[in-house]
Amino acid sequence: MRVVMFGYQTWGHRTLQALLDSEHDVVLVVTHPRSEHAYEKIWSDSVADLAEENGVPVVIRDRPDDEELFERLKEADPDIIVANNWRTWIPPRIFGLLVTAR
């Protein structure tokens, strides 16, 4: 199964590691930029670093609502999108890719 993952911090890092350890193909990771906020620094395992170490393309965004990201998601052609500790609203348009592509 082709997976796109939206994730951030330690929880996103652990979810990505589980996906990488599975039989699924992680084809794209979307994560937030590093933060200097005290809470976010406590749980700061990097989703981007883990993805890059495993050859997975990474997109870093504060919000997932720009046309370039949407095009990258279409190119990734995921079967499923997994979101863990993603702190902003993910537009329905993104999840619509799963319905219209099949």
Count of domains forming the chain? 1
For 24-80, the three-class secondary structure string (H helix, E strand, C coil) is CEEEEEEECCCCCCHHHHHCCCCHHHHHHHCCCCEEECCCCCCHHHHHHHHHHCCCE
Question: What pLDDT sits at residue 43?
Answer: 60
Question: What pLDDT sits at residue 102?
Answer: 53
Question: What pLDDT sits at residue 69?
Answer: 94
Mean pLDDT of the chain: 89
What's the CATH code of the domain at 80? 3.40.50.170
Owning domain of residue 62: 2-100
- pLDDT block averages, 10 residues each, the chain of length 102: 94 96 98 72 82 98 92 95 86 80 52
Question: What pLDDT sits at residue 88?
Answer: 81
pTM of the predicted structure, to 2 decimals: 0.88
Contact 28, 73 (CB under 8 A): yes
Question: What pLDDT sits at residue 93?
Answer: 87
Contact 5, 15 (CB under 8 A): yes
